Amino acid sequence: MPVVDGPFDAPDDHLLEYESSYPDVVAAGSLVAALQAEADRAGHRFTAEPVDVPGLRRVAAEVTDGFRSTRVLMGYNDRNYLGPGSSRSFGVTCWAGRVQMASGRTPELPEAAAVAYSWLQAPRVRVLVAQWPFLDTCQLAEAYERGEAIPVLWHRLRARAAEDPRLRDLVEAAYEQPRL
């Protein structure tokens, strides 16, 4: 009898549609197993875990230490993203708590595993992005890392509100309140 992950998931052959682009993942049975195999092969000490979202259990994986985490997600039909003839990509996002610190795409599972391992070693986000050029970060992530996210968020909110006269006065009044 086929195994089903949840009420909306397909049986075990769910990964077969990915076979031409992700033969290593299909052979391993899931992205979690394939990512763990890459980590073990490279000597990265971490445990890949499934992402608890129905329908993603075989095509997504997470590595976490409780605060820092990396999610890896198999792309489906990403030819437009990576260029003609390419249909394989792994989306990689690095998180600090609930803040996305860096993200990018790579066609190489060993790179995705290496990023997950690197992020767990607690580098600054700029160091991580310099080490893995396919990753990008943003001003807010860097400000969060410095403990300065609130001023950046206020700057963004005020800039957006400046374009809407109905919102501008409210946002400016709130900005004048030091406790906010």
Examine the domain organization and report whether 126 and 159 are in the same domain.
no
pLDDT score recorded for residue 83: 47
Who contacts 156 (Cβ-Cβ below 8 Å, separation ≥6)?
140
Structure tokens belonging to residue 166: 């109905």
Query: What is the residue type of 171?
Result: V
What is the predicted pLDDT for the residue at 173? 85
58 contacts 31 by C-beta, under 8 angstroms: yes
- For residue 41, the model assigns a pLDDT of 97
Q: Are residues 28 and 102 in the same domain?
A: yes
State which of 102, 117, 137 marks the end of a domain: 137
Beta 60-64 vs 68-74: how paired, if at all? antiparallel
- Are 44 and 113 in a shared domain? yes
What pLDDT is stored for residue 180 in this prediction? 66
Q: Specify the DSSP class assigned to residue 162.
A: T
Structural domain total, the chain: 2
Please answer whether residues 135 and 125 qualify as being in contact, where contact means their C-beta atoms are separated by less than 8 angstroms: no
Cα-only R_g, the chain = 20
The tens-digit pLDDT sequence of the chain (180 residues) is: 334 344 434 434 678 888 888 999 999 999 999 999 999 999 999 999 999 888 787 899 999 999 999 999 998 655 444 444 457 899 999 999 999 999 999 999 999 999 999 999 999 999 999 999 999 999 888 888 988 878 878 888 888 888 888 888 888 888 888 786
Tokens in use for 34? Answer: 């394939």
> Containing domain of residue 160, as a range?
148-180
**24 and 70 housed in the same domain:** yes
133 with 162, same domain?
A: no
- The whole-number pLDDT of residue 81 equals 46
